Amino acid sequence: MAAIAEKFAPRRSIFQFILDRPSMLGPIFVAPAILYVLALIGVPFLLAVFYSVSAYTIYNQSYHFVGLRNFFQIFQSDIFRTALINTFIFTIGSQIIGLVLGKFGALLLLRPFPGRKLVRALIVLPWAVPVALATVAWEWMFDSLYSVINWTMIALGVIDRSDAPNWLGNPHLAMLCVIVVNAWRFFPFAIVIFLAGITAVPQDVIDAATVDGAGFWRRNYQIILPMIAPIVVVGLIFGTVFTFTDLSIVYLLTNGGPVNATQVLGNLGFQIGIQSGDVSHGAAVSLVMLPVLFVLVIVMLRFVRRREI
Amino acid sequence: MPRPLATAAREGAFYAGVAFLVVIAAFPFYWMLITAFKTNSDLYDLSNIPFWFNDPPTLAHIRYLFEETLFARWLLNSLIVGVCVVAITLVTALPAGYSLARMTGRNGEALGIGIFLTYLVPPTLLFLPLSRVITVLGLQDSMWSLVLVYPTFTIPFCTWLLIGFFKAVPREIEEAAIVDGCSIFGAFVKMVLPLSLPAILTVVIFTFTLTLQEFVYALTFISSTAQKTITLGVTTDLVRGDIYFWGELMAGALIAAIPVAIAYNLFLDRFIAGITGGAVK
């Protein structure tokens, strides 16, 4: 005991006043994190808004104010409108496929069976591995000549070598490809979220429902689903936000092509703002994503609060 | 159907479902693996069955990566960036998480959610202004720009993870230290931090994997080969002209992916607890 007391013997210093008071130390402890985030998220965000209403390019760095002219101009561009629609198709399509596979996978993995740990480790891979690297593997699988998917279909006699699809060269197929790769990347996350939710439902609630005569579907959709809804919504919003604003899959697989068939807002903002140096229009394209994100965050906040009651 | 048959059918369907999911999830990685070790003549021969080795496996692609490209340099760059970002994240997120869990009451809770929400601000919204900021700071085309920018998403995420953890540490431990004459700061450093080693380890692993996974900022800020991180280097630098060298590409992707995959699997449960906000209450 004496040794412990000695170890923590008070060291008096002029800072003692601060170090002893939660009301002083609390804010000092949070300050670095908040300042860092404010300086490198808050300030750039304001800067983005500022660029979007100015005529700033990297060649002509004049800040003169042009109001909403950039926004009117991008909305008149066909490429932008295609990108806007594509972004919604891309997001909604991949989230739906991801959720369906996720629910299906969670139902399977709920049950203990030999090798479940290994199965889970393998299933989590698409979500764990850096998406850019996995996308390159998919690009190779979609290769116009050596596609393993085409090889298999030809070997099975489903298609002929002469009319084998050019996955990334055909506008409709290219869209399908980016959606599939994104859904593939997202579904392990959905499985894990569903599992986390379902295992958190107390067994006695389910037992009580069973005793009261609820069958499999009723238990699933009237008891379990409402109870896990908050956690699933939070997960879904994560997936949606990151899909809606993503550019890595589209950039690497198709770079928006062929002829803008898979162009999405993130990639378009990158092409205009970084590659062409037209910062103000690029910022305007990015900021169009903001209202959607805003709505999603509001929904998310409601559910996070509900969890805490 | 007699009972045993029905059971067998149900079991069969179950394992078929599991197998289906595993194939979907893991096939691209199997494909990466087998491509990385195939000879070129095997890879680009359409009459071969592509699912296994028709020629004996080769290490030529991996050797090429280390001898003819800056692959080793990219690994080193990723390591440097990762370590620096981990250090910055720990120094800021540990006290912030502790403060928001213990010292700031109701306001702290709201502030905690606020910090977490900044994790949702996407890179595609910020890359334009940030690239201007980085030019002003003279960090353009340097991996140090990533050291500066990556904490913007690791700090929010890790602070959130740590809030949940610190709430679970019994208050009595700090109180005992304070009774023994420690300041609150002393109690935090000498009692709480050593007890939090599992949480700190989680933060280290996740910060590191998040930096390896990041692509958008790296793509935006860095263009010279010698400054690239592993994810960016493999995906943008191994394509020469319009020609893809799939063996080298897959070998590079495989080597970069393996450590992340292992780390993720080991720490998956904590990650989920963090992301769903269901952190230990």
Residue-wise pLDDT tens digits, B168-210 = 788 887 788 888 877 878 888 888 888 888 888 888 988 998 8
Of A34, A130, A148, the CB nearest to B260: A130
> What residue numbers bound the domain in which B49 lies?
3-58
Q: Name chain A contacts of B159, Cβ cutoff 8 Å.
A: 33
Query: What's residue A233's pLDDT?
Result: 82
Does one domain contain both B40 and B136?
no
Quote the number of domains for chain A: 1
Of B50, B244, B276, the CB nearest to A234: B276
Averaged pLDDT for residues A223-242: 83
Does one domain contain both B45 and B131?
no
Of B31, B133, B275, the CB nearest to A238: B275
Does one domain contain both B195 and B124?
yes
Q: Is residue B64 part of a domain?
A: no
Q: Is residue B63 part of a domain?
A: no
3-state secondary structure of B244: strand
CATH code of A99's domain: 1.10.3720.10
CATH code of B254's domain: 1.10.3720.10
The residues near B168 (Cβ < 8 Å, ≥ 6 apart) are B280, B281
B103-112 — which CB contacts under 8 Å span 24+ positions? B103/A22, B103/A23, B103/A25, B103/A26, B103/A29, B103/B184, B104/A26, B104/A27, B104/A30, B108/A26, B108/A30, B111/A30, B111/A34, B112/B159, B112/B160, B112/B163
Does one domain contain both B7 and B78?
no
Chain A residues 208-227 within an 8 A CB cutoff of chain B: none
Does one domain contain both B42 and B173?
no
CB B142, CB B210: distance < 8 Å: no
Chain B closest CA to A55's CA: distance in Å?
Answer: 14
Does one domain contain both B53 and B73?
no
Query: What's residue B132's pLDDT?
Result: 87
| CA dihedral for B2, B8, B11, B16, sign (positive or negative) | negative
Q: In this predicted model, what pLDDT tens digit does every residue of A132-153 receive, in sequence order? A: 999 999 999 998 888 888 888 8
Does one domain contain both B226 and B120?
yes
Chain B residues 55-74 within an 8 A CB cutoff of chain A: none
Whether B279 has a pLDDT exceeding 60, the answer reads no
Chain A closest CA to B281's CA: distance in Å?
Answer: 9
The residue of chain A nearest to residue B52, with distances taken between CA atoms, is A148
Q: Is residue A256 part of a domain?
A: yes
Whether A1 has a pLDDT exceeding 80, the answer reads no
Does one domain contain both B141 and B168?
yes
Query: What's residue A132's pLDDT?
Result: 92
The model carries a pTM of: 0.87
Q: Is residue B30 part of a domain?
A: yes
Q: Is residue A7 part of a domain?
A: no
Structure-token pair, residue B40? 């070129």
Of the candidates A292, A291, A269, the residue with the CA atom closest to the CA atom of residue A77: A269
CB B43, CB B246: distance < 8 Å: yes
> What residue numbers bound the domain in which A205 lies?
78-308
Chain B closest CA to A184's CA: distance in Å?
Answer: 7
CB B126, CB A282: distance < 8 Å: no
Indicate which of A6, A127, A133, A263 best probes the interface with B, i.e. most B CBs within 10 Å of its own CB.
A133
Quote the number of domains for chain B: 2
In whole angstroms, give the CA distance from residue B230 to residue B76: 8
A16 against B216, higher pLDDT: B216
Whether A124 has a pLDDT exceeding 70, the answer reads yes
Does one domain contain both B109 and B161?
yes
Q: In this predicted model, what pLDDT tens digit does every residue of B8-30 receive, in sequence order? A: 888 888 999 999 999 999 999 99
Q: Is residue A295 part of a domain?
A: yes
DSSP state, B225?
G
Q: What is the mean pLDDT of chain B?
A: 85
The residue of chain A nearest to residue B95, with distances taken between CA atoms, is A29
Partner-chain contact A130 B96, CB within 8 Å: no
Does one domain contain both B77 and B121?
yes
Structure-token pair, residue A101? 């596979």
Q: Name chain B contacts of A139, Cβ cutoff 8 Å.
A: 244
Does one domain contain both B75 and B52?
no
Q: Name chain A contacts of B216, Cβ cutoff 8 Å.
A: 247-248, 266, 270
Does one domain contain both B52 and B86?
no
Query: What's residue A183's pLDDT?
Result: 94
